[in-house]
Chains A and B, each alone.
Chain A
Amino acid sequence: MLSLLIFIPLIGSLGVVLLPASMKSRYKWITLICCSLELLLCGAAYSAFDPTQSGYQLLERADWITLPLGSLGVVSIDYLVGVDGISLPLVLLSGVVMLVGAVSSWKIDARQKAYHALYLLLTSTVIGCFVALDFFLFFLFFEFMLLPMYFLIGLWGGPRREYASIKFFLYTLAGSVLILLVMIGLYLSVMDPVETALRVGLIQDRSEATDEVIRQVQFLLSEYKIPSNLLVHTFDLRHMAKGGNYLPDSFLSVAGEVMLMGIPSRLLAFLCVFLGFAVKLPVVPLHTWLPDAHVEAPTPVSVVLAGVLLKIGGYGFLRIGWGLFPDGAAEYALLLAGLGVLSIVYGGFNALAQVDLKKMIAYSSVSHMGFVLLGIASLTSEGINGAVYQMASHGVLSAMLFLITGVIYDRTHDRRIDHYRGLAGAMPGYTALTAIAFFASLGLPGFSGFIGELFTLMGSFQSIWLPGWMTAVATLGIILAAAYFLWTLQRMFFGTLWFRPEAAGQLTDLDGRERLMLVPLAVLALLLGIFPNLLFDLTNSTVADWIQRFSIE
């Protein structure tokens, strides 16, 4: 089922490429159908998922690459996908946001073939990122997400698109280089106990691998009894999360005696992974690509970028940073939470200062994603549940907010806040939905944003790693959010109707397509706000289990 999620858009993308140009009008239908199928499949995955279990579910596995490397043993890379309570909400979110993005892409006229092929490719890689359980596979999707995104911004973007796209590309790339370094280090340090048992001859078949056998292999490993050419190195994230599979004396061994520049290599590796994903989240001061990319990107790409792509940063923190290096996470909890708070406050103040509506929303994203980092860094069950919740909630809300800027930009090609006043008179429906989105984003109880922020703040307040003043400072973010959203609402929508003469006659209210995108998102935000258990039920047991065995053993 999860493989279908990855391959349907991929096949759709190929289909768009292969279809002759005379069938130009069909491209957007292919995108729409693929994305609708995706959402249906997400629903199926949701119903097949058993939320009371904490492990990975819906696993699918196939051997992919097995490279013998002489004295280094064997490298094994699997095609391995599966979901747990942390990744499933994000998969569902991607399903929703990608479909909204597909509807929003309806208006793209230039180079439709390339656009829709790239959009579908992006869909496939985004989903792939969330379901991949093999580090190499994950990294592949992570890297290949860059290419379509780079082209989508660079070809269909605004006037400074070239600058924005290369900046986006280089920032993320620099991050992924750090992740690559850690990936190489990890695969050299981790063995696959089952495959190694096969090679050593303890078992004849994979199905014979019981816990007993695995323990035996791990014992042999710790006693240096397995010759290095029989070791099977793996990228499997499940094996990487278990300390017993780390080679003694290896680069990232659990004992942590290997030092680099006077810092234990494991801590350094954690920092590398953190920096890599921090670019994506983004964390201040690595966020400067985000406003540029958002301002230049076309509306659907902004929706996807804010709605889903930023979440890969948070997901990477949980799955790889915190999941594989809990020692690092605990060591640097204070620093990380500090960066989270900095993002919240700095993003908020910057949003307050913007005159471009889209840039304002981009900075509000920085601020809201700061809560995610704060929640994760708190290392409490509330904090991490809240962080996942905040990611899902922000995905829905930021998609809405960027669609809202898209609406005004489509009509007048002008997004400056001070170029409009009293829009409520001309566009009542638009104003209503904008107000809902703004209130939901600033954390009004009853909407999803409130729950996410509340739980991350609760988590950070309870955390034994963080001082109380940090949470206090972070709450400033909520006040700032209220300030910039309400002020914008007041400036643009209230008062007597006024706009620049060029915009005359263009300010029509929402059409059916725009309603179709915005209303379901608003309903979703409300639904999540009133019934937070819809998501918490999914995440809770995974997170609880995760917190309980929060160590690499």
Chain B
Amino acid sequence: MLPIILLSVFGIVLLFLGFLKTRAVLLPAALLFILIALGAGFLEWNKSYLYFGDMLLINNLAILFSTIVLISAFMVVALSGDFLEDEMAQPAEYYAILLFSIVGAMMMIGYENLIMLFVGVEILSVSMYILTGSDKRNLRSNEAALKYFLMGSFATGFMLFGMALLYGAVGSFTLTDIKSYILLSHGRPSLLLYMGELLVLIGMLFKVSAAPFHFWTPDVYEGAPTLFTAFMSTVVKTAGFAALLQLLSVSFSAIYGFWWVILAAITALTLLAGNLTAVYQNSFKRMMAYSSISHAGYLLIGLAALGQQSRSALVFYSLAYSLATISAFGILLLVAKQHTTDGRPDESYSAFNGLSRNNPLLAFVLAVSMLSLAGIPLTAGFWGKFMLFSAAVDRGMVWILILAVLMSAVGIYYYFRVVIAMYFREGQAGRIRVAPFYQFILIAATALTIILGIVPGLFQNIM
């Protein structure tokens, strides 16, 4: 609870800091605020509290998910040094909105009441709409923001309708009340409950870009400023999955038989759509958009095969995915700046040609993050997949496992295209200057990816 209050206050403080003449103070301030929130979160470790009229539950799982969100946000902010030099940018507003959106994400992670979920989703989404369109002079960015806004509000509408139906069936918005209603209904809960659950699921699946609700993703990811794409693809996804996990494991685990088939079908569809479409992309950024869809598919396996193991698997996977994704976007940011076509940064694969020649460190960071996303052993991504796949087999979902393993083989193909470009192709990339702190963040993320790949038990012990 403390981090939520702190971040709300800090966001407002940042807005006022924006009035200062010098912009240099903004970045360190934002980083400091996130760190304080991170530390404050751990004050409640091993205690389980209900807040705000029993609408918010903070337990270890919520703290872990919040930590991933905060780490992602910290990295994204740390990579945002460019804004301070850009005349057009308004960093104070951006950082404030980022902090507010984290508040929304944390509410989605720890909600105990559907109203809280709705408020959290709205805070996060509205922040994202704004940030997507923050590159005001870029037509693509505007288009993306509008598209995201229209589709997103539609999805929110679905979700709200679902919640209303759930209320109609149960008479309460509280997750545990829904659970006890199902348990007391002797296996014959009202039809409204099923409809409501489906509609809420649809709304949430839209947010995490699962197929067939994923069509907005590539355009929005491509149009949004790269940094916010990184934020969107990690924080929103982590929060979304935490919310789905909470909903399904607390409220609806008793009617698992009803929804697992639907979720399994969506999982399969998402895996297929994400991976197969990613193969045909020529822009790295667009490939990353489809890759984020495919990773939503892998994460969905953990939900479709909901069990004891799902929690730790989802947490681990989110962490591995966030680390790799943010470092990949971090490199893209640097590389795309070097090559501009028609005044726009070049985000195609060819921008990476010959990167290893003069920038071996950057090439290595990107290679490791691609390996981790592809799920090659000795990276964190491998263990994430391993845990999720084990969960699937434990539930006897061998078909999902086979599909997922095959799709990860497809994934290796498109992730390696970047590696090929960096190491095999000739390019004219000169040496790219990287700020020391920027470099430090990239190295730290890479090191963590490798460490978690070699000793995954390190993390498991915390759980």
Contacts and interface: CB of A to CB of B under 8 A. Distances in A.
A162 B424 contact: yes
A143 B409 contact: no
A70 B393 contact: no
A251 B395 CA distance: 11
Contact of B420 (A143, A162, A251): A162
Interface stretch (A168-176, A288-296, A375-383, A433-441): A168-176
Interface in A64-81: 65-72, 75
Name the prevailing secondary structure of the B interface residues. helix
Contact of B394 (A140, A144, A170, A188): A188
A143 B390 CA distance: 20
A470 interface: no
Contacts of B386: 184
Interface string B371-391: 000001110000000110111
B376 A143 contact: yes
A188 B393 contact: yes
Residue in A70, A151, A166, A185 whose Cβ sees the most chain B Cβ within 10 Å:
A70
Interface in A187-226: 188
Contact of A71 (B307, B398, B455, B457): B307
B460 A71 contact: no
A466 B387 CA distance: 42
A180 B405 contact: yes
A154 interface: yes
A184 B387 contact: no
Interface string B294-316: 00000000000001110010000
Interface in A321-367: none
A185 B393 contact: yes
Contact of B390 (A72, A162, A165, A260): A72
Given A65-B456, A154-B423, A162-B420, A71 B378 contact: no
A528 B405 CA distance: 43
A185 B390 CA distance: 9
B393 A184 contact: yes
Name the prevailing secondary structure of the A interface residues. helix
A506 B412 CA distance: 44
A181 interface: yes
Contacts of A174: 409
A72 B309 contact: yes
Nearest to B392: A184
A75 B456 CA distance: 11
B408 A177 contact: yes
Contact of B409 (A75, A151, A177): A177
A68 B460 contact: yes
Residue in A68, A69, A139, A143 whose Cβ sees the most chain B Cβ within 10 Å:
A69
A154 B393 contact: no
Given A70-B308, A71-B309, A154 B394 contact: no
A37 interface: no
Given A65-B455, A173-B409, A177-B408, A166 B398 contact: no
A165 B416 CA distance: 12
A241 B393 CA distance: 21
A69 B312 CA distance: 8
A68 B308 CA distance: 11
Given A71-B308, A251-B398, A188 B378 contact: no
Contacts of A165: 424
Contacts of A69: 309, 312, 387, 390
A177 B406 contact: yes
A68 B394 CA distance: 14
Contacts of B312: 69-70
A67 to B, nearest CB: 5
A166 B417 CA distance: 10
A154 B420 contact: yes
A144 B454 CA distance: 14
A529 to B, nearest CB: 40
Given A72-B394, A188-B390, A166 B420 contact: yes
A66 B390 contact: no
Contacts of B416: 166, 169
A6 B457 CA distance: 24
Interface in A46-66: 65-66
Nearest to A70: B308
Contacts of A251: 393, 398
B413 interface: yes
Contacts of B376: 143
Nearest to B412: A173
A536 B309 CA distance: 49
A184 B307 CA distance: 18
14 contacts: A71-B307, A71-B308, A71-B309, A144-B377, A155-B423, A162-B420, A170-B413, A173-B409, A174-B409, A177-B408, A184-B386, A184-B393, A251-B398, A260-B398
Interface of B: 307-309, 312, 376-378, 386-387, 389-391, 393-394, 398, 401-402, 405-406, 408-409, 412-413, 416, 420, 423-424, 455-457, 460
Q: List 8 tightest A-B contacts by C-beta distance, closest first.
A: A70-B308, A177-B409, A71-B308, A70-B309, A140-B377, A154-B424, A181-B405, A69-B309
